[in-house]
Amino acid sequence: MALAGGMATLALVQVELSLLDLPAPGETVVFGVVAGLLTVTLGAGAMGELLLRAREDAEEAAFTDQLTGLPNRRHASLILNAHWGATLRGRGLAAVIFDLDHFKHVNDVHGHAEGDRVLQAFAGILSKRTRSTDLSARFGGEEFISLLPDCTLDRAVAFADDVRELFTELHFGWGNVTLSAGVAVVEEGMGSPDVLVAAADRELYVAKERGRNQVCAGNQSVAQLAPAEELPQVQPKALSDVTVLLVDDDAATLRATNRILTRAGCSVLSAESPKQAVNIITGGTSLDLIVTDIVMPEMSGFTLVDLATRVTPDLPVLYISGYAQEEVYWGGTPGARSAFLTKPMEVDELIKAVEGLLQPGPNEGLNVPQPAIEVESASEHESERWDAGDALDARILVLDDDPLVVRALVRLFKKAGYAAPIGLTDPRKVFQVLREQAVDLMILDIDMPHMDGFQVLERLREVLKPREYFPILVLTGSSDVDRRRAALAAGAMDFLAKPFDVVEARARVRNLLATRRLTRQLTGRGEELEHLVRDRTTDLADTRTELLHRLARAAEYRDDITGRHALRVGLMASRIAAEMGMKPKDIDLIRRTGPLHDIGKIGVPDAILMKPGDLSDEEFNTIKRHTLIGEQILGGSRHEVLTVASNIAVAHHERWDGAGYPHALSGEDIPIEARLVSVADVFDVLSHARPYKEASSPREAVREIKRCAGGQFDPAVVEAFGTICERAGADNLLSLADPIDPSTDTGLQ
C-alpha cells in the first residue's frame, strides 16, 4: 500500500510539472525516490511479519507445556469448559487422567534429565493416539489428561488401555515405567466439569490402590475389588481403644486436633495430605474412625472417604471444615455413620462427636451431613418429567414472522406444561413485551421483515439487565456456518433447525432453562455471600472498635467515674470536624477513635492519677507518659482506625506553638485528628467536675479555649468550635456531646 501510494504521488507530480511546463526531475532523483519507497515498504512489511509471529508465539506459549509440547493445564481447562456446555445439550464427554507410576523414583535414581525424557516419550505416544477432535494435555507434574467428546465409557477405557500398553513397552536403557489411568464419563447429577475430573481422579486412585499399571473406570473398578465381609455388630468402644486417622492439610489444625484426641485417649495417625492418608488406609492398619478436612489439594475429603469405605465399609467419618455446612458442595455420599463440625471446634463438641460416632445405633444428636445432590435411579421419561416440572413456571417467548411456526411452537410448549407461552410475528413488539412481562427464554427467527434477528439481538441489550443470562434459541433453515457464528457472537445460545423436531425442541429449551435456573441460583447465592461477607466484616470492625472503647472506658473510670468523658470527647471532636467541612468518612472515623485518646492512662499509677492536690515535676512527667503508652498500645497496625487512634493518643497534648509533649510538635506537623481532639478534650475537662477540681461553666470554658488559640490550639479548629458555640449557644454545648447533666456527672448513672 505504501509503495502504490508513493508511485501514484510521483506520477501526479510529473503530470503537474508537464502541465506547468516545468522541467521534470532527473532519472537519478526519480530512482532515489522509488528506491526509498521500496525500502520503506519492505521494512514495514518485514516488521509487521515479525510482530505477527511474535504474537502467535506468545499465544501458543501461554497454552503449551514447554517440555512436552502438549497443551497445558490452562488450555485443557478452557477446552473442558467449552465441552461442558455441549454436555448440557445432551452430548457425551469422557475424561481420562494418566499418572506415571513411581515417577519420583525415576527422578531420584536416574536424574531429572531422564525424568524429562520419560515425560517427552509418553507425550509423544499420547499425542499420536489422540484424535483430532479430542484433546490431550499435561495436567501437572507426571499427570496428563485426555478429553474425549462424544465418547462412551468402553471406548474411553479402550483408548486409555491402548496408551498404557504402548508406553509400558518402551525401554529407557535402565528399565521400563508403568502407567495408571482413571476414566470417567459425564453422568446425571454432575454439576460442573470439576466433578467429572474428580470422578476420573478417584478412579485413578483406585488403580493405584490395586497395584498400579492398569486402567479403572466406573463400575469396572468397583466390581474387581474383593467383596467385603459383613461387619459384626458394632459395640461401644472406649476412646482408649480407638484408632483415628486424622487428615488435614493445615498443619496448625492437624497438631491441635491431634493433641485433643490424644489427650482423650485415642491412638491418632496423622496425615498432612490425602496421599499420605491413602497409604495409611491401604497399608493394612485397622481404623475405627476418620476425621478429615473437606477442601484439600490432590483430592477432597469426600473422595478420600469413598476410597476408605471401599477398604473398610461402614467406617465412621467426622468431616471438619472452615465453611458452614450449608456452604459446602457435597461431592459424594456421607457414609454409613458421619457427622460434621465447623472449624474452629470446641474441645467438648469434638469429643462428643467422636463418642457419638463410635456408639452403635443411629447418629442421634449428631450434626449429620446430607449430600448436596441426590442421584436416584429413574427412567428417561421420569427424568424428563422432573426437568419439565421444574421449569413449568418459566415463560417462553416465540418470535417468528411465520404464524404457522409461532402457533406450532406455542401449542407444543403449552402441551408440555409451560406457563402461557407468548407468540409474536412482529419483531418490533418484542421489546415492549420484554419490558412488561417476565420472560425466561426466547425462540428467535433470523430472517424477518421490519427487523431481522441480528437487529433484535443487538437491541436486546437495552432491555436486559447487566450480566443477565437470558437464553436465546435461534430458529434457522440455513446451514450457513458464518451466519451461525454471527448469531452466537451476537448473543444466541443454541440453534433449532427448520423444520424442527418436536423432541429436539423440547430438549433444547429444557436444557437452556435449566442453565438459566442454575445461573440465577448461583447469582443469588453470590449476592447472599457478598452481603454475608459485608455484614461479617462490619461486625468484625464494630467488635474491634467496641473492644477498644471498653478498654478506653476502663482507663477513664480511674479519673472519671462515669467513663463518659471519652465518648463526649469523640462526639465533640467529630462535630468540630464536620464544621470544618471534612468528609463524612473522616468525621465518623474521628467520632470512633477520639474516645481512645487517653487509653495510655492504663499505665499510670492510681496514686498519681487520683491525687487531689498539685503534682510534683516527677509525677507530672509520669502522667505525660500516657501519650507514649497509648501509642504503644494502638500503633503499628495496618488498619486505618487504629492508625488514626494512635495519632490521637500520642499527639493530643501537643501544642500549636510547639510547647507540648511528648515530641514538641508544632503547627500542621500535629495530625489534624489530634488537633481536633485536643480542643474537645480540654473543653470537656474544664466543663466537668473531677476529684481534684470543680466544673467551670460552659461560657468560662469557651473563653479559655478562645484565649489559647494560636498558642495551645490550632486557630482554625478554635474558629470552627466558636462557630458551633455561637450557633448553639454556650449553655447548650454540653448537650451536643452528652445529654447527661454535668452537675450530676460525678457518679454512676
> For the domain that residue 322 is a member of, what is the CATH number?
3.40.50.2300
Q: How far apart are CA 614 and CA 608, in angstroms?
A: 10
Which grid cell sits at 731? 449553655
> Is 434 inside a domain boundary?
yes
Kindly state whether residues 700 and 567 are assigned to the same domain: yes
Kindly state whether residues 219 and 246 are assigned to the same domain: no
Task: Specify which of 236-250, 340-354, 571-585, 685-699 reaches the highest per-range mean pLDDT.
Answer: 571-585
Average pLDDT over every residue of 363-388: 40
Which runs of E-coded beta strand occur in 48-117? Answer: 93-100
Kindly state whether residues 54 and 77 are assigned to the same domain: no
Kindly state whether residues 571 and 426 are assigned to the same domain: no
Q: Is the pLDDT of residue 546 over 50?
A: yes
Q: Is the pLDDT of residue 650 over 60?
A: yes
Domain limits at 288?
239-358
pLDDT at res. 535: 80
Candidates 539, 505, 575, 495; CA nearest to 736 is: 575
Instruction: State how far the alpha carbon of 87 is from the alpha carbons of 84, 186, 331, 376, 391, in Å.
Output: 5, 8, 19, 20, 19
> Is 546 inside a domain boundary?
no
Kindly state whether residues 130 and 198 are assigned to the same domain: yes
Kindly state whether residues 673 and 582 are assigned to the same domain: yes
Higher pLDDT among residues 377 and 441, named by residue: 441
Higher pLDDT among residues 440 and 523, named by residue: 440
Residue 654 — very low, low, confident or very high, per pLDDT cuts 50/70/90? very high
Q: What is the pLDDT of residues 156-182, one digit of tens each?
A: 999 999 999 999 999 999 999 999 999
> Is 166 inside a domain boundary?
yes
Q: Is the pLDDT of residue 37 over 70?
A: no
Q: Is the pLDDT of residue 724 over 60?
A: yes
> Is 228 inside a domain boundary?
no
Q: What is the pLDDT of residues 456-479, one digit of tens each?
A: 888 887 888 777 788 899 887 777
Candidates 193, 12, 183; CA nearest to 99 is: 183
> Is 718 inside a domain boundary?
yes
Q: What is the pLDDT of residues 83-124, one digit of tens each?
A: 887 887 778 899 999 999 999 889 889 898 999 999 999 999
Q: How far apart are CA 151 and CA 431, in angstroms?
A: 42
Kindly state whether residues 47 and 145 are assigned to the same domain: no
Kindly state whether residues 350 and 252 are assigned to the same domain: yes
pLDDT at res. 477: 72
Kindly state whether residues 434 and 491 are assigned to the same domain: yes
pLDDT > 70: what percent of the chain? 77
Total number of domains in the chain: 5
Average pLDDT over every residue of 286-298: 83
Contacts of 555 (CB under 8 A, 6+ apart): 598, 599, 600, 601, 602
- Claim: this prediction has a pTM higher than 0.85: no
Candidates 160, 147, 159; CA nearest to 93 is: 147
Q: Is the pLDDT of residue 270 over 90?
A: yes
Kindly state whether residues 463 and 515 are assigned to the same domain: yes
Q: What is the pLDDT of residues 196-248, one digit of tens each?
A: 887 888 888 888 888 899 999 864 432 232 232 333 344 556 888 889 999 99
Q: What is the pLDDT of residues 45-73, one digit of tens each?
A: 666 666 556 555 555 567 788 899 999 88
Residue 729 — very low, low, confident or very high, per pLDDT cuts 50/70/90? confident
Kindly state whether residues 394 and 447 are assigned to the same domain: yes
Kindly state whether residues 211 and 177 are assigned to the same domain: yes
> Is 456 inside a domain boundary?
yes
Q: Is the pLDDT of residue 33 over 80?
A: no
